Amino acid sequence: MKLVVVWIVVFVLVVVVIVLAAWLPTRVLRRRNIKTKGSSDVVVRCSKGHLFTTIWIAGASLKAVRLGFKRYQHCPVGHHWSVVTPLPVDQLSDADRIEAARVHDIRIP
Ligand SMILES: [Zn+2]
């Protein structure tokens, strides 16, 4: 009986850690005005200056290598691999938003 209780406690702790690992980075993105509620799309700029929209889900990245707050992924505008940086929505000009909306990379996080 004690073993069952231990496994239940371990399971609950693992679930809590997984939820926090996904929730905290998302909250940071929202506080920095990078991610809006209800959307997984984020405007990013590659190291060569190209703007595009990508899916950015905290804790999940199948097409990119996570480098803290940046990611190394394919740039669909310049067709090269690059470090991309998410940009705060409130600091984008209308021209930047239009340019970023023109190109969305593959729909995989
Ligand atoms: Zn680029």
Q: What is the 84 CA–ligand 1 centroid distance (Å)?
A: 8
Give the C-alpha separation, 45 to 88, whole Å. Answer: 11
pLDDT in tens, the chain (109 residues): 788 888 999 999 998 887 777 777 777 777 777 777 777 889 999 999 999 999 988 777 888 898 888 999 999 999 999 999 999 988 899 999 999 999 998 887 7
Q: What is the 109 CA–ligand 1 centroid distance (Å)?
A: 18
Dihedral, 78, 81, 83, 85 alpha carbons, nearest 10: 40
Q: What is the 83 CA–ligand 1 centroid distance (Å)?
A: 9
pTM confidence score? 0.72
